[in-house]
Amino acid sequence: MAYRKVVVAGGGVLGSQIAFQSAYCGFDVTIWLRSEGSIGRTQPKLDKLKEEYEKIIGIMDTPEGKNPAVWARGIADQDTFDKEECLAKVESAYKGLKLELDLQKAVEDADLVIESMAEDVKEKIAFYEKMKPFLPEKTVVVTNSSTLLPSTFAKHTGRPEKYLSLHFANHLWTNNTAEVMGHELTDRKYFNELMDFANQIRMVALPVLKEKNGYLLNSMLVPFLLSGLDLFVNGVSDPESIDKAWKLGTGAPRGPFEIFDVVGLTTAHHIVMQYQKVPGLLSPLLRKMMMPYNFKGMEAVLSRYIKENKLGRSTGEGFYKYN
């Protein structure tokens, strides 16, 4: 089935990006939000994304922007790039995006629902149970969870054969990957459809053929981030020095604390709590390596930052301050 109407549940860092990118690629996109307060938090993210897309398109139109390290692959291919066409698509996406508080109205006639809510099992289950009676028969439901398995939630959707995971990297207009992972009851037909959809929104679709917490990217990224955080909470060094050690030693563009500020400290807190409570998320080798980690210290530090509304780039301050 060719998807037309896409609903993104949640307007957080990734939810807003997924919605904007899907709209940029011509899909009819609605973002479902739980409250007026959520609209107040989501609309500025969409405003900022519009500015970000316009800025990067301007850079792509310069000789420096042709550098593969700079080029935004989710926006256009180099050989067919047309600045004015891309800017027009940004404007159309921004104007066409809809924000909706009524869940039944939001999912009416939806071809695809992308759940992009906090990494909280109870919250996700409650959402699926609430949405289930409103969904058309045709609707495929996916989760953008970064650590949780689709089999955990499949029965709560009322359509386990049409339920799977679609996980994106942050800054998806540049880091344009989408990991597609089903579970044992997922119909292969919908797995293939989702791979096609990912390609249609200019992602590189990556099949994950076996359920795995963390999928491909986060199975490698999360242990790295926790290693950096552990150094800080145990007083070994400060965030800036830890980031410099990683960047200068490897040539990577960001260190762990810069990445935390991008993904948001609330998401970081959810991940720490999960790995603390469920050691089985780690492979035996990583579990052996990481169990001495100071998870309680990590949780305490992140909770303090969150309480002070230092959530990362989205609030102007996290481990670093931003203008």
What dihedral angle (degrees, nearest 10) is formed by the CA atoms of 16, 77, 91, 46?
20
Domain range 217-313, its CATH number among 1.10.1040.10, 1.10.150.120, 1.10.3720.10, 1.10.10.10? 1.10.1040.10
Nearest by Cα to 71 from 175, 145, 149? 175
Question: What pLDDT score was predicted for residue 203?
Answer: 98
Average pLDDT, the chain: 93
Domain 5-208, second-level architecture: 3-Layer(aba) Sandwich (3.40)
Q: What does the pLDDT average to over 155-174? A: 96
* Cα–Cα distance for residue pair 85/83, rounded to 1 Å: 6
**What DSSP string describes 170-195?**
SSTTTS-EEEEE--TT--HHHHHHHH
The pLDDT confidence band at residue 202, using thresholds 50, 70 and 90, is very high
Q: Which residues pair with 29 in a beta bridge?
A: 6
Q: What pLDDT, in 10s, does the model give residues 21-38?
A: 999 999 999 999 999 999
Tell me which DSSP letter residue 210 carries: S
* Cα–Cα distance for residue pair 112/283, rounded to 1 Å: 32
Question: What pLDDT score was predicted for residue 173?
Answer: 97
Question: What pLDDT score was predicted for residue 88?
Answer: 98
The pLDDT confidence band at residue 147, using thresholds 50, 70 and 90, is confident
- Domain ranges in the chain? 5-208, 217-313
Q: What does the pLDDT average to over 158-174? A: 96
Residue 290 has pLDDT above 60, yes or no: no
Residue 288 has pLDDT above 60, yes or no: no
- Portion of the chain with pLDDT greater than 70, in percent: 95
Q: What is the CA radius of gyration of the chain?
A: 20
Question: What pLDDT score was predicted for residue 287?
Answer: 53
Number of neighbouring beta carbons within 10 Å of residue 288: 10
